[in-house]
Amino acid sequence: MPKDVLYRGIVESCYRIIGFQGTQLRVSGEGNIPAHGGAVLVLNHTGYLDFVFGGLAPRTKGRLVRYMSKSAIFRNPMVGWLMRSMGHISVDRIDGQDSFQKAVDYARRGELVGIFPEGTISRSFEIKPMRSGAVRIAQEAGVPIVPMVLFGSQRFWTKGHRRHLGRNHFPLLIRVLEPWTPDPQGDPQELTEQLRATMQECLNGLWADYQREFGDFPAGANWVPARFGGSAPTVEEAQRADKVVEDERHRVRRLSEDLSGLGDKVQELSRNVVSGAYNAYGQAREKLSSSVSSSDSEESRLSNLLLWVKSSLDELAQEGGTGVKEGAERISGATEQLRRDATALYAQLAASGWEKYDGSRLEEALTNLAAQTRQILDRLPHRPHQRLSGLPQVVCLDVAGTLCDDQGQISDASRDMVREFVEHGVRIVLTTESGIEEVRDAAGQLGVSALGVAANGAVRYDVDKAEVLETISVTPQLVAATRAALTRISAASSLRPLHDPKGQTLLLRVSSPDLEPRNLAEQLEQELDTQAVVTYTAEEVQVGAPGADKAAAVGRFIADLGFDAGATMAVGDSYSDAALLRAVEIGVAMGSAPSEVIRSADWTTADVAGDGVAEVLRSVFEDAIKDQENTDSA
């Protein structure tokens, strides 16, 4: 490469420094380094100087190693310049596709590509599980893998310990194994396991050689593996520490994808506003708009919704990168772009006349944008969450649109998490606007013991006993009052009673081809006042008798069972769930919920297609496990 004079000079300087330190260097297998042609040099990783020591054997053949190194190193102006000058490859641990392709290109053109497939330093000084990238690069480039195993580099400088870079006379053992060409059609993970086993066997030999020449490992020394009585972490302890790091990388990777997707949504919404996509929707309803709501109330609702969306986006732009180390540059760029896009959208809509959007899908688009934003915010680990101490005693799950998809099916992930909660003693309450059949079917799919709240709170039901515990029916007077109210509203409508097997009316279901369910519900609520409980979903309005609502029904279950109201949570997706979400300790809105429901909830999770129930239950369960571990270690 153009600046290899610099690189070779650095290698020679390092070699002399190693000699000055009095390092007792033992290198074997140098002949296995290919004199020319591409190869992937695979090294175990126990110290920060491994990239220096890994170049000693290739030096004997006049070869230089192009290491794959984490991108954070390249961000330092001086060090980054040196790394690029030496032809090393920057690896984004959040999204490594570009670095993978660059490594393949290097190997194809005859370079030695150096990789530490353990990913990070092994805290146990044993060989950790390895990623398959080295094998995949060798397969793609059609070059051999040259394994190299080191022992002793951790004494110079390793994670969590101070440096020892003076004249210390530390032994350092390096062994290069025979080149190995992986089967191009072989499974990369299986081949990686074979490679790891070979390198571990070599490391076992180095441990024996070390003790044969330099004596037994000193007991309690921090550079000695735990299996030999050293104070290094055990393999299991090191894996737990590494898992924390891997989980954070996964979180940042998902955050990066989420921010990118959200930015696309903001830009798409902005383009649709410019193109007038939201202007003409629902023109058939314009003749009724004056009876639905005044232009002032429409403007107020949309204006308030836009302010909430802008506030949420700004909040995410400000907090999204908090605590991020690896991938910080990527997240910073994404949040800054999001801030600019949100500001532009707000200015664009604030300057518009709201009347042009009356009856349009703009409100739905803004609500979806807000829901996606709140979901990302609620996943940020540094944000304070409404939390329980341990698992809840009761979990209430709406059925349609929350637990079940459009086909009435429950995902495996949601089913498994509900079962996990039940196995830990949590009571499940299934709620629905429909009859008890929907509760029974959902409980059957889950395969768990459950209680049910049907007909929007008019019926309390014990699934195991197949017993109706309470019914609050709609009186003929309320039916007549509802029909009269619909006549006064002067809109076309249909009223369908929901009956139980005995013929009692449990709920009135009202819909209109002219009015949105929310607008119809608002007017019915004004007309009926205290005579009824009025709620709505995306499809219809429900009118029930006083006391027949989900929150009240669940409250009676909690009282009957002697549970703590402060140890309850509920998940729902419609306005009929809103009172329940406010009543429990943790209320969770699905991403598909109306804006009023999302704003009143403690958390927002994904919609049913994104397994929102499984996501939030898993989060609560993991928090409870951590709480228990902290209690046990206290």
Q: What tens digit of pLDDT does each residue of 482-528 get?
A: 999 999 998 788 999 999 888 999 999 999 998 888 889 999 999 99
* Percentages of the chain per state (helix, strand, coil), in multiples of 5: 50, 15, 35
Confidence (pLDDT) at 280: 47
Is 626's pLDDT higher than 90?
Answer: no
What is the pLDDT averaged over residues 292-306?
66
CA distances from 629 to 381, 446, 624 (A): 18, 29, 9
Confidence (pLDDT) at 247: 84
What is the pLDDT averaged over residues 144-173?
94
Is 630's pLDDT higher than 90?
Answer: no
Residue whose token pair is 């070059």: 143
Report the alpha-carbon distance of residue 64 to residue 503 in Å, rounded.
Answer: 86
Is 594's pLDDT higher than 70?
Answer: yes
Confidence (pLDDT) at 633: 60
Confidence band for 349, pLDDT divided at 50, 70 and 90: confident
Half-sphere exposure of 355 (CA within 13 A, CB side): 6
**Other C-beta atoms within 10 Å of 477: how many?**
9
Phi, psi of 221 (to 5 degrees): -70, 140
Is 452's pLDDT higher than 70?
Answer: yes
Report the alpha-carbon distance of residue 592 to residue 60 in Å, rounded.
Answer: 64
For residue 150, which of 203, 201, 214 has the smallest C-alpha distance? 203
**Residue 127: both structure tokens together:** 């060989």
Is 76's pLDDT higher than 70?
Answer: yes
Confidence band for 213, pLDDT divided at 50, 70 and 90: very high
All residues at 6 or more sequence positions from 616 whose CB lies less than 8 Å from its CB, including other chains = 571, 588, 603, 605
Phi, psi of 531 (to 5 degrees): -70, -20
The angle at the Cα of 125, spanning 197 to 146, to the nearest 5 degrees, equals: 45
Report the alpha-carbon distance of residue 62 to residue 527 in Å, rounded.
Answer: 90
Q: Strands 603-604 and 568-572, how do they pair?
A: unpaired
For residue 202, which of 244, 169, 174, 230 has the smallest C-alpha distance? 174
CA distances from 256 to 102, 270, 311 (A): 22, 21, 20
In the DSSP assignment, the letter for residue 475 is P
Is 296's pLDDT higher than 60?
Answer: no
Return the percentage of the chain with pLDDT > 70, whole number. 93
In the DSSP assignment, the letter for residue 404 is B
Confidence band for 2, pLDDT divided at 50, 70 and 90: low
* CA 38, 44, 50, 53 torsion-angle sign: negative
**Other C-beta atoms within 10 Å of 254: how many?**
13
Phi-psi region of 359 (alpha: psi -120 to 50; beta: other; left: phi over 0): left
Q: At what angle do helices 436-446 and 412-423 cross, to 10 degrees?
A: 80
What is the pLDDT averaged over residues 373-399?
84
The angle at the Cα of 294, spanning 289 to 297, to the nearest 5 degrees, equals: 125
Is 286's pLDDT higher than 60?
Answer: no
Is 42's pLDDT higher than 80?
Answer: yes
Confidence (pLDDT) at 484: 93
Is 1's pLDDT higher than 70?
Answer: no
Is 63's pLDDT higher than 60?
Answer: yes
Confidence (pLDDT) at 292: 42
Cβ atoms of residues 120 and 242 within 8 Å: yes
Is 293's pLDDT higher than 50?
Answer: no
Report the alpha-carbon distance of residue 459 to residue 177 in Å, rounded.
Answer: 73
All residues at 6 or more sequence positions from 194 whose CB lies less than 8 Å from its CB, including other chains = none
Q: Strands 394-398 and 427-431, how do they pair?
A: parallel
Count helices and strands (H / E) in the chain: 21, 19
Strand order in the sheet with 39-43: 24-28, 171-176, 145-151, 39-43, 112-115, 65-70, 89-91
In the DSSP assignment, the letter for residue 217 is P
What is the pLDDT averaged over residues 198-202?
97
Residue whose token pair is 């009172």: 579
Confidence (pLDDT) at 359: 60
Cβ atoms of residues 452 and 439 within 8 Å: yes
> In whole numbers, what is the pLDDT of the chain averaged over residues?
89
Cβ atoms of residues 71 and 83 within 8 Å: no
Confidence band for 294, pLDDT divided at 50, 70 and 90: very low
Report the alpha-carbon distance of residue 174 to residue 26 in Å, rounded.
Answer: 6
Report the alpha-carbon distance of residue 149 to residue 629 in Å, rounded.
Answer: 36
The pTM of the whole model exceeds 0.85 = no
Confidence band for 278, pLDDT divided at 50, 70 and 90: confident
3-state SS assignment for residue 398: strand
What is the pLDDT averaged over residues 196-217?
97
Choice between 628 and 390, residue whose per-residue pLDDT is larger:
390
Cβ atoms of residues 611 and 413 within 8 Å: yes
Residue whose token pair is 């637990």: 403
Confidence (pLDDT) at 225: 96
* CA 236, 238, 241, 245 torsion-angle sign: negative
Return the percentage of the chain with pLDDT > 90, whole number. 64
What are the tens digits of pLDDT across the range 539-591? 899 999 999 999 999 999 999 989 888 899 999 999 999 999 999 999 999 99
Is 281's pLDDT higher than 50?
Answer: no
What is the pLDDT averaged over residues 38-64?
96
Confidence (pLDDT) at 586: 92
**Other C-beta atoms within 10 Å of 277: how many?**
16
All residues at 6 or more sequence positions from 532 whose CB lies less than 8 Å from its CB, including other chains = 478, 481, 482, 524, 543, 544, 545, 546
Q: Strands 541-544 and 505-511, how do they pair?
A: antiparallel
